[in-house]
Every structure is written in structure tokens, then in C-alpha cells.
Chain A
Amino acid sequence: MPFLVRSLLTILLLALPLTARAKDDLVIGITQYPASLHPNMDSMMAKTYVMAMALRPLTTFDAKWQLICMLCERLPSFDNGLAKRAPLAAGKSGVALTYTLRADAFWGDGVPVSTDDVLFTWEAGRHPQSGVANAELYQRILNIEVKDAKTFTVHLDRLTFDYNALNDFQLLPAHIERPRFAAAPAEYRNRTAYDQDSTNPGLYNGPYRISAVSLGSHLILEPNPHWRGTKPAFKRVVIRTVENTAALEAQLLSGGVDMIAGELGLPLEQAVALDKRADPRFRVLFKSGLAYEHLDINLSSPIMADKRVRQALLYGLDRQGLSRQLFDGRQPVADSSVNPLDTVHADDTPHYSYDPAKAARLLDEAGWIQTGAVRRNAKGEALSVELMTTAGNRSRELLSQVIQGQWRKLGIDTRLKTEPARVFFGETVTKRRFAHLALFAWISSPESVPRSTLHSSQIPAAANNWTGQNYAGYADARMDALLDAIEIELEAPKRTELWRRLQHLYAEELPALPLFFRADASILPRQLQGLAPTGHQNPSTLWIENWRWQP
């Protein structure tokens, strides 16, 4: 009997670890391969997604859209005394921000993350030949004062409401990167260890480090032995790139990948179809976020310059019905570029409900009279508009066809035109070469001031090398004043009021036609817990150490 009991207990004890065993590997499918791995060279969502597991930013927005410290101990503010106004020349005001790096922050080779890394990152970022794309942040930094190995004060050249957000200031390991940079700054973009020696553990300070790279195919990440935070659950995380979304779904169903990232995964309609099949192995998390699908308008066109026409176009669109029919109602209708989840969203922003009668009235008032199938003006010109979008994007192609159908009922002839993304974004939209309407999305962060898209100084032209994103050519002194005021208003209630006025003005003037806030679909195995899609440009992988496998 004792022998039998002992045997049973032994079997039970051996079996326990098996039943409770966690999964060692997690294979994530994404649709884009991250080209360069340097965190501060050109921006790319795939790179952001992967590097968020391996590199921690100084500050970031969390899944609740709140600004938090990641690599720093405390967020500087005027209340806690870590932020101080700094008078500058000509009566301007800057700000001095004191950050302390986390005591437990280490690079993967055991070297502590230090203020030396902060100084080197600034040095490389502001060097004109380093190849860093967005040099604005580095140029805004007037000086960095080092207090000790962990504490430093950043002096910024202006005081804005988001003064303490250094989200794009990604620290570089000075002990590895400085020699490569110092040897030839102009060649740094080709010499950086992130691309030449990508598996060097000293390049990473997050919970994972990149341990293998197969160009164009996959990357493998393993736990960073010097990570002192919450221990990540998986011994290996594999990022597999499958660009064809049908093939990616097949990979998921056949077990080739465990999950599909919402940030770079299946188009919404494909995810909705997958969700409706109710495969018990998976759950689909839909998260509407800050990707603002809209129709950009070329206001230089005489047709679109008339506000009544723009308003009629929006009244003539059943956006709620479109969202329901095409996207299973997962994409909330937008009233402006400000998402309802954003703290500065104004609930009383005017809403354009579907009202074809009102749309027809506005068109009549604008002089476009229905004389046959198509409305015409007094000169006999047809009300004909061109709607352009990216070729190969099924959601947008489908959406533009439905828009065409709904506007046809109003007597508007809509010609659809698609272009490859490279041409559409690299030339047509950037250089304002679309005739009337361009369908695409803006992706931003919470409380992101739309200066680049709405301020009159941001209209692309040859004179400014086609920079700025005000592709509409929208110039309104009231909007300029609001944008300028919001940026420097530090008191939240006052700023919220300015934002409210901005949204009202946007809805009244319609410099763009708001459509939806895009929803991303993360397709996860049922056992995976702890993943929280953010809905903004900071990906869910920034908190990968909280992901758990629960059999």
C-alpha cells in the first residue's frame, strides 16, 4: 500500500508541471519586415513594434493614453519641481526638465543605462550627417546638463503643454555606438551596430534582446538577462513576416504563427470574417484608435473651395451604415480628427448625420442643379469629382466604391482612381497633385496638435521642399490662432476649451471629410493573456513582459 501511494504521488507530481506548463515560444505574425533596426533612423511601424520589446523609451503613452515614464523614475512637472520655466532671449520662455534614469535600467551586456547614453543620443541626433530623420526634437534641445550617472536636465527652447513628453528620445548605448559614430558621422547610418551587429546584447535595454535576424523573413528575440523588471513569460519570441494577408491567416490557422499583431495584421474586414467563424482557438480584440480615416480635400479646386459642397458631400454619406455594412460597426464614425477616447474630445462637436435632402439643398444653393443624372452649374459644367486612394488596400477600394454609389444618388459623378502607395504618398498627395479628394489615414498620438495638417504655414510647396502635411491647402487665421494657443496653454481646462473650439471650427469648415477611426484587430490564442492594444502609435509590445500564457 505505501508503495502504491508513493507511486501515485510520484505520478501526480510529475504530471503537475506538464499540465501547468507554460508555452516557451510565441510566434507573432506581422505583414511588414522591419528594414533598418536603428531606433532613430526613418520611422516604420514594423520596426517600432519589434523594437518596443527590446528598447524602452524615456516616456510614452500607455494603453489608457496617459503619459508615463518608462526609462525614467518620475515624469517632470511644475508641481513636483522637476520642470522649471527657463527665460530665453527676446522674451521667449523655454523649459528645464530634470529626469532620473531608472536605477534598474541596464543594457543587455550588463552596462548600466546612464547619462552618457543621453549625451551621445543627443550628439548623434543633432548631427546634420547622422541620417536621423526627425532632427527637430534634438534641435529643440538647447543643452543637456548632467548631474550624475543617472540624473540630467534637458533645456528645451520652448514651453509647450506636452513639455515633459520625450517619447521620441530613444537612448542609444554610447559604449557601442559612439566609436562607430565618431569614426565617420556621415557613414554612421551604414555603420550602426543595430544593423551591422544586430544580435549584440548591449544594444537593448528592454525585457527582450534580438538574438537572430533572418533578413526579410523573421527575427528572434530572447530574454535580456540584465532586465530587472517583470520577468517575461516566453523564452523566445519570433516575429515572422508574411506580407500576403490571406497567407498570414493560413499560417495562423495551420499553427505557423500563434497570433497576428493588431498593429500590422489583417485588414478589418478579414478579421471580422475570421471572428464570425468563431474558431475556439482564437479571440479577436478590436481596438479603435487614432488612425483617422478621412477624405483629404484639395481646396484649390473651385468645386471643393465651396464650403456648401463639402458639407453636402458629408451629409450625403451614410457613414454609420457604411461602418455597419463594411466593418461590422467596429469603426466609430469621426466628427473631426479628435478621437472620442481622447481626453480633449468635445462631445458637442457638430455631427453630420446622413441627410440626403439637406445635402441636395446645399448643392442647389451652391448652384449645382440636378438636370439629369449629374448636377450641373450655370455654365453647364458637370459636378464631377475625382477620388483617389491607395491601390491594393481592399478596405479603401471598397469604401470608395460605396461612397461613389451614395454620391451618385445626389447627382455627383465620382471618378475613382487608385495609385500604388509609393506614388500616392510620395508624389500625388505630398505635392498636392490630387484633383479633389484623397482617401487615407493619419496616425497620431493622444492629444496630438494637428499643426502639420491644419496650420497655414504647413501647406506643402516647392519653396519649402514639399514639407508640411496641410495637403488641403487650408488657410484660416482662426485655426492658426487656435493651434498656436493650444500648444502653449499649460492649464488643462483652458486647453480643453481651445480644443473644443478647434473641433467646432473643423466641423464647420470641413478642411477634410471625416470618415472613421480605424479599428485594429489583434488575433490572439485564447491562452494568451495580458496583451492590451493601445490604439495609438506606441505599440502593445511595450508591455510584453506582462503577457502570460495560461493553459
Chain B
Amino acid sequence: MTGWLGSRLIQSLIVLVVMSAVIHGLMGLMPGDPIDLMIASDPHLNAADAIRLKALYGLDRPWGERYLAWIAQVLRGELGYSRLFAKPVLAIIGPALLNSLILMLSALALSLLIAVPLGIVAALRPGRALDHLINAVSFASVSLPTFWLGLMLMVVFAVLLGWLPAGGMQSLSGEASGLADSLRHMALPVATLTIAGIGQYARHTRAAMLAEAGQDYIRTAKAKGCGPARLVLRHQWRNALLPLITLLGLEFGTLFSGALITETVFGWPGMGKLIADAVMGNDFNLALTALMLATAMTLLGSVLADLLMARLDPRIKLR
């Protein structure tokens, strides 16, 4: 177990280093830099200004040198300042991460609460009307573009009915605040992400349940007189859970990278929007830290999924 953990840690470190180089390199390859954009928008900038500003932001140095400087900075425990927001990177990522986690965890929990029972029910009566209906709902959920879904929910519940706020994280007019107000603001973005997530989890649950339904141990349990509810929940579902755990492990990283489209539509200041702005604005410190965090969390999620699977399935040995 310790050896396995050590080996995974080393693998993860290598992946992180490679990913940091790839991300840094890809950002460096993007055409134009912030100073070019400044020049385009300000007629007063001259050649001397361009040279001065590029030197100030380190943009006049070759890619390799800039990457090594960033690595050295990180090894010293400094994540630096955001070029866009002129604030320490952690001071920016902290609140955005919290906002994204609130949104993504709520949506994930709700998606699973709805999708797993739907998947189980569909698998119990394959080919029947209810299965077809759940399949249709799942396909619709996977197919609906989130920006469209978000806008439709906004139009119906905020504009036409006036029940919920159209965006933001809290009321800004000073008339309402507190938990109830925050929950009202969360409702539409969480609903959007939940609806978008239901399909894939319901489909995976159904497929896993169907795969287990034909196994010998199910027939044996039935022959021994095991009741249908016990059969499904204690035997079939427990084993069907394993592929779902793998999926959730891989999805773990997305909790930390946010949901760009939903955040943009609902004006929710989370990681998705922050990462997109940082990448487009050539904010290397901010973009690299945020993306490395998402990568690290994906790797951690994969390790946690392996550990959980080993605990649930005695046939799996971690070596």
C-alpha cells in the first residue's frame, strides 16, 4: 500500500511537471501578447514603451527561460502576482475556488441524487416504456447546450415568473442577504449544471446495473431466495458502483476548474471564468496555478477512486 502510494505520488509529480511545461508552452505559442494588445488599443504607445513594458513583464525573454523562472519561483513557494488583477495569485484563486466548489458540489450531489435512482429504475425494466423515457431524458440532458439551458431557465424563472434572481451570487441592492438569498441565487446555475449532469450519470448507472444483472452471483442470490430490493441494493448496486466511482474520480478535477459557460451566463465569479480570462490575457502566474490545481485534483481524484474501489471490491489489490 505504501509502495503503491509512493509510486502514484511520483507518477503524479511527473505528470504535473509535464503538464506545466505543456500549458506554459501552449500559452507562449498563442499569437499576440498583452503588450501587443495594449499597443493596439493605445495610439500613444511608442516603440520605447513596447520595449520597456515587455522587459517589465518578462515577455522579452525566450520561452524556456521564462518557464524555468516560473518553476524556480514555485519551488521557492511563491506563486507570484496576477498580471491582470495585480494581486497575489492565491488571493484571487481562493474566493473563485470557493465559489466554484459551492456551485459544482451542489450540482454534483443533486445530479447523483436524481441520476442514480433513474439509472437503477431504467436498468430494472430494460426496454420498457419507463426505460425509454429515462433514456430520452438522459439524452436530452447530455445534448442540451448549457448556455441555452441556462438562458431558458433564466427567462422562465427570473424574467417571466420573477421567482428567482437572474444571476450573481447575492442581492446587491441591500434589501436581502443571508443564506436564503444565497440559495435563491444558486438555484438557477445549480439547476442548469444538475440537468446537464443527470444524463451521463443515469446512463452510466444503467449500463453498470445491466452489466451486473447477468452475473452468476446475482443468479445465485436469486436462487437462495434473496428479495428483489435486497438483491438490487446489497448485491447488484454495490458492484455497479465501481465504474461510477472511476467516473467520479476523473470528474473530481472539474470541481476545481469550474464551469465556464454556466459561470459566464449567470455572472458567477468562479474558476472557469477566471481560468479562461487568465489564459486569454496571458496571465501566466494565474493560469498556470489554476490549471495545475485542477490537474493535481484530477490526479488526486484518481488515487482516491482507486483506494475506494479497493475498499469496496476485495478482488482489487493495490500494488
Contacts and interface: CB of A to CB of B under 8 A. Distances in A.
Interface of A: 24-25, 27, 35-36, 38, 41-43, 128-129, 131, 133-137, 168, 186, 189-190, 192, 195-196, 214-218, 220, 236, 238, 240-244, 246-247, 250-251, 253-256, 420, 422-423, 425-431, 451-453, 464-467, 469
Given A136-B44, A243-B264, A423-B32, A215 B155 contact: no
Given A427-B32, A469-B43, A240 B267 contact: yes
Contacts of A250: 151, 154-155, 158-159, 166-167
Interface stretch (B11-19, B45-53, B120-128, B229-237): B45-53
A217 B166 contact: no
A425 B50 contact: no
Contacts of A467: 39, 45-47, 49-50
A246 B151 contact: yes
B266 interface: yes
Contacts of A24: 174
Contact of B96 (A216, A238, A240, A423): A216
A518 to B, nearest CB: 16
A134 B49 contact: yes
A285 to B, nearest CB: 22
Interface in B37-62: 37-54, 56
A453 B41 CA distance: 12
Interface residues of B, number: 60
Interface stretch (B79-87, B134-142, B305-313): B79-87
A135 B32 contact: no
Contacts of B269: 214-217
B166 A238 contact: no
Given A133-B49, A247-B265, A250-B158, A426 B86 contact: no
Most chain B CB inside 10 Å of its own CB: which residue of A129, A236, A256, A431: A256
A248 to B, nearest CB: 8
Given A217-B269, A425-B41, A195 B86 contact: yes
Given A196-B87, A214-B269, A250-B166, A133 B151 contact: no
B85 A35 contact: yes
Contact of B43 (A41, A236, A247, A452): A452
A144 B245 CA distance: 69
A260 to B, nearest CB: 13
A134 B266 contact: no
B67 interface: no
A44 to B, nearest CB: 8
B243 interface: no
A465 B37 contact: no
Contact of A134 (B45, B166, B167): B45
Contacts of B174: 24-25, 236
29 contacts: A24-B174, A35-B86, A43-B38, A131-B53, A133-B38, A136-B44, A137-B44, A186-B56, A189-B86, A192-B86, A215-B87, A215-B95, A216-B277, A220-B172, A238-B172, A238-B173, A242-B167, A247-B264, A250-B158, A253-B159, A253-B166, A256-B168, A425-B37, A426-B31, A431-B36, A452-B44, A466-B36, A467-B49, A469-B43
Interface of B: 30-34, 36-54, 56, 81, 84-87, 92, 95-96, 147, 150-151, 154-155, 158-159, 162, 165-169, 172-174, 264-269, 273-274, 277, 280-281
Nearest to B87: A195
B145 to A, nearest CB: 13
A38 B160 CA distance: 40
B172 A422 contact: no
B204 to A, nearest CB: 31
A269 B43 CA distance: 29
Contacts of B274: 216
Nearest to A24: B174
B86 A190 contact: yes
B80 to A, nearest CB: 9
B257 to A, nearest CB: 15
Nearest to B150: A247
A243 B174 CA distance: 23
Given A41-B86, A214-B269, A236-B174, A190 B280 contact: no
A422 B37 contact: yes
Nearest to B32: A426
A465 B32 contact: no
A511 to B, nearest CB: 15
A140 to B, nearest CB: 10
A465 B167 contact: no
B37 A426 contact: yes
Contacts of A190: 81, 86-87
A247 B167 contact: yes
A138 to B, nearest CB: 11
Given A256-B166, A464-B47, 8 more contacts: A134-B45, A214-B95, A216-B269, A240-B172, A250-B158, A426-B40, A465-B50, A465-B51
A445 to B, nearest CB: 11
Nearest to B173: A25
A254 B49 contact: no
A218 B31 contact: no
A425 B162 contact: no
Which 4 residue pairs of A and B lie closest in terms of their CB atoms, listed nearest first?
A426-B32, A216-B269, A452-B43, A427-B31
B49 A422 contact: no
Contact of A38 (B32, B47, B86): B86
A256 B162 CA distance: 10
Contacts of B33: 426
Contacts of B36: 425-427, 430-431, 466
Given A236-B174, A467-B47, A256 B165 contact: yes
A256 B167 contact: yes
A134 B268 CA distance: 33
A236 B41 CA distance: 32
Given A25-B173, A254-B166, A426-B32, A242 B47 contact: no
A465 B267 contact: no
Given A137-B44, A217-B269, A466-B39, A254 B168 contact: no
